[in-house]
Structure formats: structure tokens, C-alpha cells
Amino acid sequence: MLAGDLDRLHSPPCMITDPWFYCAAIPAVFLVGLSKGGFGGTMALVGVPMMALVISPVAAAGILLPILILMDLIALYAWRGTFSKTVLADMLPASVLGISLGYLTSAYAPPDAVSIVVGLLSLWFVTNWFLHARHAMTPVPENRRRAWAWGVGAGYGSFVAHAGGPTFQIYVLPLRLAPPVYAGTAVVFFAVTNVAKLIPYYALGQFSYENLATSLALFPVAPIATFCGVWLVKRLEPELFYRIVYGLLVPVGLKLIYDGLTAISA
């Protein structure tokens, strides 16, 4: 082994030092943290696209995943004991199956196509709510088959394109859970989903010393943003909360479609 190789082995991991990266990454992490705290789950989708303005999407995903897991831990503490057991019992096994399918088909499934499909589903869901269901106060009853179908979709979309939020919401929002219960359920669901993604992401080479060191530099933003999200959810009226969450699906759906079409046509 050469002396230069020994120096690299003993030198600390380098992180990204470009100031333009942090101009994009800090707001991105803050918006994701609001989402992780339970306020507007679809905002988590802006993290990778915002960071991808200055680095590659693959590097952005690798940097963001450890931060997501830290946010999950904080949010799990904040919403401890507040969740729907039946929704999680139906959707979590399905999400793990979706992650497994994403890993097995990672060499064949284009993430851009998945983004377009999830974006179209989001817009269809919001359109249907606006035209038919926005004045309905009666919750839609839980259905195990639908929970499994959307749970698989959420796990698959989360693995392939970090786009599990809209698919999760398509099943859960019509149940009209109380906002704290909805937030806690989403937190537990995506905490387990993100941990389940660690091994396949590592196997696919998504992590590097530089990415992990950069994640560590962004860690201080995570608790501030997550607790801000928790604070907002606890102070919003249920009707306003759901209107905001449904409304956030529109720009997210359009963004997913735009990103997918742009990448395919490039």
C-alpha cells in the first residue's frame, strides 16, 4: 500500500464545502423536517429536487436518507403513542414488500416513469376530492385490500423515487383521522419504511464518506424543523389542516410529472 493510500485511510471524511449547495440544502432539509413533524407530508418530496439543483439526484438521496432517519426518531418521540394501529398493521407489511420489489427491479424500473405515475395519481386524487369529497364529513371506512395496494405503492415509490408520500395519503387522508393521529401514523409508517431502505440502499452503493459527512453537517437543522412541524399540527383546526395537505399535493404532483418528463426527454 502506498503512503498516499495510508494518508487517505487515516484522514477524516470530507464533506461538501460548496456554499451554493448549502443555500439549497438547508431550506430543503427544513421543509422536509416540517413534513416529518406531521405538517403536510408531501413536502418531504421537495428535498431531493431542491438539492439536485446543485448536486446529482443520487448523491442528494444518499445525503438525505440519514437525515430523514434522524427526523423520524425525533418525530417518533414527539408523537409517541399517537397513531392508528389498524392502518399501520395493514400498510407496513405492504410497504416492506414494495421496498423489496423496488430493490429487485432497481436495474429495470426507471425512477422517472415512477415519478410521472405518482404525480398523475396525486393530481387525480386531489381533483376527485375537490369535485366530490371535499364537503363530505363522513370518513371512508378502512379497507385491508386498498391499504395493501397503496402500501405496496408507497414502499415502492419511496424506494425508487423517494415518492411514497402521495401514495400513502391517497389511502389515509379519506379516513379523516384526527390531525395528531394522522401525523403520528405517517411518522411511524415512514420511519419503518426508511429504516427498511437502509440495507438495499447500502447494497446499491448509495452511501459514501462524503455524503455521510455532509449529512452530519446538516443534522442541526433536523430537530428545529421537525419540532416546528409538530407545533403547527397541534395548533391547526382539522378542516384547515386537511385543506392544506390536499393543496400541497398539487404542486408536488406537477413537480413529479415535470421532473419525470424532463429526465425522459433529455
Provide the pLDDT for residue 80.
92
Closest C-alpha among 148, 147, 206, 183 to residue 72: 183
Q: Which cell is 247 given?
A: 393543496
Pair 72, 220: CB distance under 8 Å: no
Rg (CA), the chain: 19
Structural domain boundaries in the chain: 17-265
Return averaged pLDDT per consecutive 10 residues of the chain, 266 residues in all: 46 74 89 82 69 75 86 92 96 96 80 76 79 71 96 89 82 91 93 91 81 92 92 84 77 80 81
Full DSSP string of 34-59: HHHTTS-GGGGGGHHHHHTTTS-HHH
CA atoms of 12 and 117, how far apart (whole Å): 42
CA atoms of 262 and 68, how far apart (whole Å): 26
Provide the pLDDT for residue 177.
92
CA atoms of 174 and 172, how far apart (whole Å): 6
CA atoms of 226 and 36, how far apart (whole Å): 6
Provide the pLDDT for residue 45.
67
